[in-house]
């Protein structure tokens, strides 16, 4: 019995020691997410154009995460790791030291400079594109530090209009590398990622009446998803079931229905003589947030996935729209009118605490979450011109990423 107890104690001590450094940094990052951790990148190679471009994009991606701020980028062929950690801590107040070494594969090691301990290491195959390699490495670093997906490889859908032509576009997380997916002379709007990421569903007036169409990303084929009489709009898909919540007005008033992935109606969730719209399915598939004017004002409501137990969320505004659950299920984001302006606000589901994210901007709408549950994409209208912005929900740092754009939708995978 004593021997068994001794083995348990030794195993426990070894486990604690092995996680000590990682625990300190991880706790600091996750317990105070509004604080950005300083870091330095060192590439253990002679500088080349490939390594330099890779390094620049890693720094850009990690800075955009708002978790890490890269204070310096160093190229050095011969190093002594502990001395380098002392140097970056002294010169840059860098608590994280990121070391890259290119061999047959790219070796990445991330250190805690205060504890002089290795937090984690991993390898990746070397791609031809330094940019794609940087995105993959950056996302891996953020995931290992925070437990949340990175945003570097994520994509954004949006709508723009030029010379009477509506364009469905796709770009990188920062607005770069925009490509046209569809150009149409008819109205298109509200693009959403279809489950599987091979199709995009969007509101379309291709046949003169509002329907939901699907665009196949591989073939460019467009086909009808739902075209019931009246309005067809506002689809939100379940993550763990092959179905979605959608707004249809086939019975007269806009109501929320459940449909399968072929567009077949499975059940109707709302039957009030009022507006019921903008459904957003929670990540666990148990709840649906939506807006309704059933009490005379357009407010935020939440019901279960069978349309029962609907309750109004207590928010002091007479107009709320476009609710969206964060991928981790902790927050609801929505557009809310206070006075004469529209803001993006978040509501913490467990505590009921609210936080305005877009103070200083006058008219904001259509929030869409990033994969990391930390950043939000939204449309801002200034002087009758639309643009897409992102905001960090902790630091409130805002970035304009695209002009002449609206109805953005982030890929939350």
Cα three-residue angle 161-163-166, rounded to 5 degrees? 30
Residue 314 lies in a domain: yes
Residue 1 lies in a domain: no
The predicted structure's pLDDT at residue 244: 97
Residue ranges of alpha helices (H) inside 70-129 are 81-92
- In three-state secondary structure terms, 374 is coil
- Is residue 136 located within the same domain as residue 175? no
Structural domain boundaries, residue 76: 12-146
- Is residue 129 located within the same domain as residue 168? no
- In three-state secondary structure terms, 311 is strand
Q: How many whole angstroms separate alpha carbon 130 and alpha carbon 54?
A: 5
What are the b/e assignments for 325-363, b being 16+ CB within 10 Å? bbbeeebbbbbbbeeeebbbbbbebeeeebeebbeebeb
- Is residue 168 located within the same domain as residue 304? yes
pLDDT reading at 20 higher than 90 = no
| Element at 18 (helix H, strand E) | helix 2-31
- Is residue 203 located within the same domain as residue 111? no
- Is residue 332 located within the same domain as residue 246? yes
Cα three-residue angle 329-172-374, rounded to 5 degrees? 25
Residue 379 lies in a domain: yes
- In three-state secondary structure terms, 233 is strand
The predicted structure's pLDDT at residue 21: 46
- Is residue 257 located within the same domain as residue 389? yes
- Is residue 164 located within the same domain as residue 69? no
What are the b/e assignments for 63-90, b being 16+ CB within 10 Å? ebbbbbbbbebbbeeeeeeeebbebbbe
- Is residue 177 located within the same domain as residue 140? no
Residue 383 lies in a domain: yes
- Is residue 285 located within the same domain as residue 348? yes
Residue 4 lies in a domain: no
| Band (412; pLDDT cuts 50, 70, 90) | confident
Q: Which of 111, 126, 146 corresponds to the end of one domain?
A: 146
**How does pLDDT run across 353-397, given as a tens digit for each residue?**
999 999 999 899 999 999 999 999 999 998 889 999 999 999 999
Please state whether beta strands 243-248 and 188-193 pair in parallel, antiparallel, or not at all (unpaired): unpaired
Residue 5 lies in a domain: no
pLDDT averaged over every residue in the chain: 91
CA distances (Å), origin 4, targets 7, 75, 306: 5, 50, 52
Per-residue pLDDT, averaged over 176-183, amounts to 96
Domain count, the chain: 2
**How does pLDDT run across 128-149, given as a tens digit for each residue?**
999 999 999 999 999 999 999 9
Q: How many whole angstroms separate alpha carbon 90 and alpha carbon 387?
A: 41
Task: Give the closest residue to 158 by CA, choosing from 329, 408, 412.
Answer: 408
CATH number of the domain enclosing 113: 3.40.50
| Band (329; pLDDT cuts 50, 70, 90) | very high
Percent of the chain predicted with pLDDT > 90: 82
The predicted structure's pLDDT at residue 273: 79
| Band (23; pLDDT cuts 50, 70, 90) | low
Q: Which of 146, 180, 196 corresponds to the end of one domain?
A: 146
Residue 141 lies in a domain: yes
Sheet arrangement for strand 211-216: 188-193, 199-204, 211-216, 222-226
- Is residue 174 located within the same domain as residue 126? no
Q: Which of 120, 146, 172 corresponds to the end of one domain?
A: 146
- Is residue 341 located within the same domain as residue 300? yes
Q: How many whole angstroms separate alpha carbon 96 and alpha carbon 111?
A: 6
Q: How many whole angstroms separate alpha carbon 306 and alpha carbon 243?
A: 13
**How does pLDDT run across 60-106, given as a tens digit for each residue?**
999 999 999 999 999 998 989 889 889 988 899 999 999 999 999 99
- Contact between 186 and 205 under an 8 Å Cβ cutoff? The reply is yes
The predicted structure's pLDDT at residue 255: 95
- Contact between 214 and 206 under an 8 Å Cβ cutoff? The reply is no
CATH number of the domain enclosing 182: 2.120.10.30
pTM for the full predicted model: 0.90
- Is residue 171 located within the same domain as residue 140? no
Per-residue pLDDT, averaged over 106-135, amounts to 94
Residue 165 lies in a domain: yes
CA dihedral sign of residues 228, 231, 237, 238? negative
Q: What does the CA dihedral 227, 228, 229, 233 come to, rounded to 10 degrees? A: -70
């Amino acid at each position: 019995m004593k021997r068994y107890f001794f083995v348990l104690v030794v195993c426990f001590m070894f486990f604690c020691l092995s996680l000590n450094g990682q625990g300190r940094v991880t706790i600091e990052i996750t317990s105070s997410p509004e604080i950005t951790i300083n870091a330095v990148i060192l590439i253990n190679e002679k500088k080349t154009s490939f390594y330099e471009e890779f390094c620049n994009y890693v720094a850009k991606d990690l800075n955009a995460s708002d978790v890490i701020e890269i204070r310096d980028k160093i190229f050095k062929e011969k190093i002594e790791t502990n001395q380098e950690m002392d140097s970056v801590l002294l010169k840059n107040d860098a608590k994280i030291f990121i070391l890259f070494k290119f061999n047959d594969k790219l070796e990445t090691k991330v250190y805690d400079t205060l504890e002089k301990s290795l937090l984690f290491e991993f390898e990746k195959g070397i791609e031809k594109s330094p940019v794609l390699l940087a995105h993959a490495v950056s996302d891996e670093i953020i995931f290992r530090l925070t437990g949340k997906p990175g945003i570097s490889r994520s994509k954004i859908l949006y709508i723009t209009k030029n010379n009477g032509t509506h364009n469905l576009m796709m770009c990188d997380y920062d607005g770069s590398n925009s490509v046209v997916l569809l150009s149409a002379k008819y109205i298109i709007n509200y693009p959403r990622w279809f489950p599987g990421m091979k199709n995009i569903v969007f509101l379309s007036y291709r046949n003169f009446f509002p329907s939901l169409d699907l665009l196949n990303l591989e073939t460019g084929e467009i086909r009808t998803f739902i075209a019931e009489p009246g309005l067809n709009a506002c689809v939100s898909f379940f993550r763990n079931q092959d179905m979605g919540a959608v707004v249809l007005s086939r019975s007269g008033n806009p109501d929320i229905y459940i449909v399968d992935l072929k567009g077949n109606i499975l059940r109707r969730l709302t039957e009030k003589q009022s507006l019921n719209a903008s459904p957003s399915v929670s990540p666990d598939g148990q709840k649906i947030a939506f807006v309704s004017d059933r009490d005379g004002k357009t407010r935020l409501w939440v019901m279960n996935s069978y349309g029962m137990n609907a309750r109004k969320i207590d928010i002091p505004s007479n107009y709320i729209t476009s609710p969206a659950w964060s991928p981790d299920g902790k927050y609801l984001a929505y557009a809310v009118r206070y006075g004469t302006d529209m803001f993006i606000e978040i509501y913490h589901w467990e505590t009921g605490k609210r936080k305005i994210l877009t103070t200083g901007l006058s008219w904001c709408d259509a929030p869409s979450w990033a994969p990391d549950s930390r950043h939000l994409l939204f449309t801002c209208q200034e002087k009758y011109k639309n643009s897409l912005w992102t905001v960090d929900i902790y630091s409130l740092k805002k970035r304009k990423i695209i002009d002449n754009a609206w109805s953005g939708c982030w890929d939350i995978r």
